Each structure stands twice: as C-alpha cells, then as structure tokens.
Amino acid sequence: MTRTLRFEVRAEVYAAWREVVRLERRDVDRELSEEEVLMNLFQARLRGPSDEGRSNYQVALVQCEDCRRVYQDARGERVELSPEVIERVACDAQHIGRVDPAESHVGLRKASQSIPPAIRRAVLRRDGGRCTVPGCSNSLWIDVHHLTFRSEQGDNGMGNLTVQCGAHHARIHKGLLLVEGRAPDLRFRYADGTEYGDPRKSPAGDQDREAEQVSSHEAVRSALVNMGFRAHEAKDALAAVRSRFAPGAKLEELLRAALQEATSPCRAGKRPAC
C-alpha cells in the first residue's frame, strides 16, 4: 500500500529540490525516481550507528499467524511491509527477538546481527565504505547485502557479501538490478540482462529504452508477488525468461512466460531429477 505526501512550497524550495534530484541522479543513479531520492534524504538523516560493525536496522515486526502478512509500528501507526522490504532488511539487521505483549522478560535474549560485527567491518573496509554499483558514490546510508539471499540460505562468507546503498539494495531485492559473481568481482546488469555501466557515461538516448524495460520488469515482478510468489521466486522466474525476449517485448508475453517458469515442476521442487 502506498501513502500520499503533498507539500506546497515556495519557489526557492522547489528549485532546491530540483537541484537535489539532479545531484542524486548524478552521484547515485540517473534513473532514480523522486521517491528514491526522497528516501535517500531520509536515510542520510537517519543514518545508522557510527560503529561500522553495527547494522543499520533493528528488526521488530508483527506477523499475523493466519495470513502471514508482516507489519511495522511507525510512531503509532501500523504499516504493512512488502516481501522485498522484509528480505532487504533481513540482509543486514539487528534482531531483538519476539516482542509479543504476552511474552515474559524471562528468556529474552540479547540482540543478534545478521552479519557478525567483525565480518561487517571487514566488508566495509574492503569495499571502501561505499556502494559497489558502478557510478554510485553513495556512502551515507549503506547496507551489507547477501548476494545469495538469506531466504535462499545465503551465508556470511566474505564472497557472498557486498556493500550497497539503500536505493540500489532495494532495486536488487525487487529484481530490477541483477548481480553476478562473488565479491569483490561482481557484474551488474539491468533487469532485461543488458550490462550496467557507469550511468554518467551511458548515451542519453538509451535512457527512455532502459526506463521502459525497468518498468516492464517491475510490473511483472509486482504481479507475481501479488499472486502469492515470494520476492526471490519472482526475481528468479524473471531471470530465467529474460534471454527469450528482445527489448520492447510485450508486457503480457513477459508475464505469461515468467508465470509459467514460476509454476514449473522443476522450480517448485516437485521433480527430484530437476
């Protein structure tokens, strides 16, 4: 579910906003939406702890035992989280355990981390304390990302961990940005499989084509998630059918192929020989 923010501002404030958007797109990714720019500003203000060993997040979520939907309390309002947000936060979080009102303080454990502090510090030093996506210089709000997701039994080995800014980390978990290889030797690709280069060196004429491809893949991914597939299942299905379609393929064709892939016996684990 989305929420609406509406502001009426003076001309100089609007001019400053446009300049901030331009700078963020220059320094992070030229395809950043205004929502992603706004989130970057929020994260810069809410930047995590100064200790590099500590994760940016503490996870305290409320999950319905019947429908399995997950919520977070946000200053008195309960907000539902999408599956990819949960996976992304779990990559690099502090876990404080169950916080049910009925739970006694007896048996409560100390907070633990997705990634041990020593390993997290080592990864940040190896990657220079900044996002590893080509062309991105963001170092204000960064997460350590599991290349093989934790939900897919990804471990905390150095080769499975890389530093991502909030915007690119979110795109990876949405399936809009693909990462191949073992850290630090990584290859980044767009959702349609094309090479992801330095955005400041890419021809301006390619921007509309890339934006259209990203929009199509995001629509298909969202459709699969709304059908009940997990975020990483939708991402994997898209990755499997990507090579079959040329840029500009019809959305319906892409969705049909991805749905067929997601429900195939091999992917569902119904045939041991697959």
Domain range summary for the chain, segments of one domain joined by +: 11-190, 204-268
CA distances from 19 to 13, 23, 26, 38, 168 (A): 10, 6, 10, 13, 21
* CA–CA distance, 65 with 71 (Å, rounded to integer): 12
Give the pairing of strands 93-95 and 57-59: parallel
* CA–CA distance, 190 with 144 (Å, rounded to integer): 20
Buried b (16+ CB within 10 A) or exposed e, 212-244: ebbebbbebbbbbbeeebbbbbbbbbbbbbbee
Query: What pLDDT is recorded for position 50?
Result: 59
Mean pLDDT of 221-225: 78
Query: What pLDDT is recorded for position 233?
Result: 79
The overall average pLDDT reported for the chain is: 78
Question: pLDDT per residue over 3-59, tens digit each?
Answer: 888 989 998 889 999 999 999 998 888 888 899 999 888 877 776 555 677 777 666
Structure token digits, residue 233? 């299942």
Q: Max alpha carbon distance in the chain (Å)?
A: 65
Kindly tell me the number of DSSP H helices and DSSP E strands found in the chain: 9, 10
pLDDT band at 237 (very low <50, low <70, confident <90, very high): confident
Mean pLDDT of 219-243: 77
Task: Answer whether 211's CB lies under 8 Å from 30's CB.
Answer: no
Q: Is the pLDDT assigned to residue 1 strictly greater than 70?
A: no
Task: Answer whether 69's CB lies under 8 Å from 63's CB.
Answer: yes
Would you report the helix, strand and coil content of the chain in percent, each value rounded to 5?
40, 15, 40
pLDDT band at 66 (very low <50, low <70, confident <90, very high): confident
Q: Is the pLDDT assigned to residue 125 strictly greater than 90?
A: yes
Question: pLDDT per residue over 203-221, tens digit each?
Answer: 444 444 455 555 677 778 7
Percentage with pLDDT > 90 across the chain = 19
The continuous run of DSSP H or E covering 112 comes out as strand 112-113
Query: What pLDDT is recorded for position 162?
Result: 96
Reference 36, options 146, 166, 144; nearest CA is 166
**Vertex 219 angle, CA 214 and 220, to 5°:** 100
Percentage with pLDDT > 70 across the chain = 76
Q: What pTM does this model have?
A: 0.66
Query: What pLDDT is recorded for position 204?
Result: 43
Question: pLDDT per residue over 152-205, tens digit each?
Answer: 788 999 999 999 998 899 888 887 788 999 999 999 988 767 788 644 444 444
* CA–CA distance, 76 with 62 (Å, rounded to integer): 14
Q: Is the pLDDT assigned to residue 246 strictly greater than 70?
A: no
Residues ≥6 apart with Cβ < 8 Å to 204: none
CA distances from 206 to 86, 211, 247 (A): 32, 9, 12
Query: What pLDDT is recorded for position 150?
Result: 82
Axis crossing angle, helix 207-226 with helix 251-262, rounded to the nearest 10: 40
